[in-house]
Every structure is written in C-alpha cells, then in structure tokens.
Amino acid sequence: MAKIEIKNIRKDFGDFNAVKESSFTIEDGEFFMLLGPSGCGKTTTLRMIAGLELPTSGEIYLDGKEISQLPPSKRDIAFVFQMFALYPHMNVRKNLSYPLVSQGMPRAQVKAKVEEVAGILGILDILNRPVGGLSGGDRQRVALGRAIVRDPKAFMMDEPLGALDAEFREHMSQELRALHDRMGATTVYVTHDQLEAMQMGDKIVVMNNAVVEQFGTPQQIYDKPATMFVADFIGSPSMNFLRFDGALDEGATSVDLNGQTLAVPKQLQGASGKLVFGVRPEHVMLSDSGNYRGEVLATEYLGTTQIITLDTPNGELKARIDSAQLAAIGEKVALNFQAPKITLFDETTGLALRSSLNHEVLAHG
C-alpha cells in the first residue's frame, strides 16, 4: 500500500491551463476525495496520478519513488471509471481473471485470487453468469473486483457512482467505504457531490478553476473554510454570506453590521473594505430578543429540522432550526449567531480572514 505525494503538478492542454501548481499528500490507507465542480481539474489531477496524462511540470511520488513520467503499467495503480468497462462477451469469472491471466499468473493462483476477491465483494454466487444480464450494482461490483484482484498499491476512482440513481448510490457509497475499511487500500476518489465527499472521505481536496482551494479533513473544511468558494460549495444549504462595508483591527472580537455589534472569534489580522460575515445555517438562532432582525420568507420542513429563509438588512439568510420551533411567514424575529463558529472573509480576494477559529487550518493549507 502506498503514500502519494503531489508536488507542484501543473497541466496545460495547449493554451488551456487545466491544473495550476498543486501540492498535497495522500497518506497510506487514506480514502482521499478530489472534490469540485465540473471543469475544475479534479479528473485531470486523478489521471495524472494514474499516468493517463503526463503533467506539464511537477512531481508525483508513490512511496517515495518519483513516477510522474512513468507509463500507467509501471505505476501499479488501478483505475475504476464512471462507466464500468467490462468485457460483455465474458462471464464474471473471466472478467475478474483477465487482469491476472494477462500478467501471466498461474491458473490455480488466478482461481484462488478471483474467489477471494469475489468473496470480499459478495459476488461469489454470480461468478459464472454473463455480465450482460447483471444489475447496475453487480456490474459495479465486478468492475471494482477487476481493480482489486491485481493488489495494486492504490485505487483511482473517477465518479464511480455517478451513473447510479440516488437511492442506490447511497447504498453503494456505504458499501464502498466499508470495503475500504476492510482492505485499507489508499484510494483517490473524484466527485462533484459534496455530500458524498463529506460522507466517504478521510481527507478532501477542494478544487476550483484549476486551483486547490483547500485541503483537510471533512470537519476542518466544513467548520473552517479557507475561501468563500469552499464555504459556499460545502454544506447544504451552504454558508450564509452577510455582506458589509467595514474595517476591523487585529485583535477585534466583534464586527459592526448595520449598527449592530456582532461577536466573532478573535481576529488575527486587520481588514477593511468589502467584508463578509459567514455563518452556517445551523449556527443561526431565532429568538425574541436581540437587535439584529430578519423577516421570515419561507419555511421548509425536513423531519427533525427545518430550514427558515429570512430577509435581513444584509441579504437573504437561511437558518436550520428544530422543526418543533414555530416560525410563521411574515414574522419578524431576532437573529443570534454562534460567535465562535463565525468566519469573516475579504470579499475582494475571497479569502477567509485569520482568526482564533481557523488559524491552525489556514497555516498549512
């Protein structure tokens, strides 16, 4: 198994810059997510690790060995595509055996290995079936099996669940994660689905416009976003941005929004101009007392919680509150914010301002 280090890799397609100098490290045994919207460079990054694209510059280390210019076959990395590519004329067993037979592995050993892997995936009973008649889930399991039989150092997966419907996708994502927990193989997984990334990943790299925006654990990225893009992309509903003009000094513990003083984590850098007060919906509380007020525009029931959309002097805001709490459309309510969870941003650069909340996370990424 393997540790993968990415150092300043860059990829240009002609004049188009697909990935700007990016660096991050994937530790041995991690389930690592590359997350971002379409066209952000996440798949290109994955393909460079697998050797399907060669980087324009930069280095990739697999267990300390530089592999960025090696062909895919010399890297010992298995790739699972979104569209499970199986040989339609072969049965399941032959599909699974193929990568081993082509390596020249003895027949008895192939049989043992295929059965071991089929056991892990729970597909022993369909080994002799043609792949044509299989359900989507079983096809996906066979495709995974073909990657697993080779005992590669790492797995690369490019939206492997993207083609499945929502319900089945949830089921397969749990199965995939449980499989990873049993095998402990380093896995790099590309997705544009933030919930999938949060649910499955040990670490996440968030990419946008060819740039790594942030790199960290799901909790770090959610609680301490480094940029407005990350804050907006992660979480549903996403972080609220209350925009204001103002200035604050280093060491400040509050900001002034429309004449109301709101507490924030201790700021470690001063800033002025167009600023943004970032607050997650679950850190907004509706109450009777308080001077920062908003009007309820809409309520959305979600079972245990509900989402309240409010109109505030600084724009629309969403709050996630207990569904037992009453909120009527048109009602004017006071809003309180959980001060220790607030992130301030500079709107011009889109970057988070350093504070006692996030300085450790921002320092390394």
Partner 1 sequence: MAEVTLKNLSKKFGKDIGVEDISMTIPDGAFVVLLGPTGAGKTTTLRLISGLEKADSGEIWVDGRNVGKETPAQRDMAMVFQQYSLYPHLTVRDNLAFPLKSPILRAPDDEIERKVSEVAEVLQISHKLDNKATALSGGEMQRVSIGRALVRDPTIYLMDEPLSSLDAKLRTDLRVELKRIHASLGATLLYVTHDQIEAMTMATHVGVLNEGRLVQFGSPRDIYENPNSIYVAGRLGLPRINILPVDVFGNAPSGTTHIGMRPEHVSQGDGLAADVQRIEHLGDQTRLHLIVKGHAITTIANPTVIYEPGTPIKIMPKDPLFFDVNGNRIR
The residues that touch partner 1, with contacts defined as CB under 8 A, are 165-167, 170, 177, 181, 193-195, 198-199, 217-219, 222-223, 234-238, 280-282, 297-298, 300-304, 307, 309, 320, 323, 329
In eight-state DSSP terms, residue 6 is E
Asked if 72 and 51 count as a contact pair (C-beta separation under 8 A), the reply is yes
- Orientation angle between helical segments 107-121 and 92-101, nearest 10 degrees: 130
Shorter beta-carbon distance to partner 1: residue 152 or 235: 235
Smallest distance from the beta carbon of 35 to partner 1, in angstroms? 13
Q: Which is nearer to partner 1, 73 or 219 (CB)?
A: 219
For residue 292, the minimal CB distance to partner 1 (Å) is 22
- Nearer to partner 1 by Cβ, of 97 and 343: the residue is 343
What's the min distance (Å) between Cβ of 282 and partner 1? 5
What SS3 state is found at 284?
strand
Work out how close the CB of 221 gets to partner 1 at its nearest, in angstroms, rounded to a whole number: 8
Q: 10 Å Cβ neighbour count for 269?
A: 15
Identity of the residue, 223 or 256, whose beta carbon is nearer to partner 1 in the bound complex: 223
358 within 8 A of 342, measured Cβ to Cβ: no
Q: Decide: 110 and 100 in contact? Cβ < 8 Å.
A: yes
CB of 274 to partner 1, least distance (A): 22
Residue pair 255/270 in contact by the 8 Å Cβ criterion: no
Q: Measured from the CB atom, is 154 or 231 closer to partner 1?
A: 231
Shortest Å, Cβ 1 to partner 1: 19
Residue found by looking up tokens 């022993």 in the block? 124
Give the C-alpha separation, 213 to 100, whole Å.
39
Continuous segment of H or E residues that includes residue 255 = strand 254-257
Measured from the CB atom, the residue of 110 and 234 that comes closer to partner 1 is: 234
Question: Side by side, which strands form the sheet with 271-279?
Answer: 240-248, 271-279, 343-346, 351-352
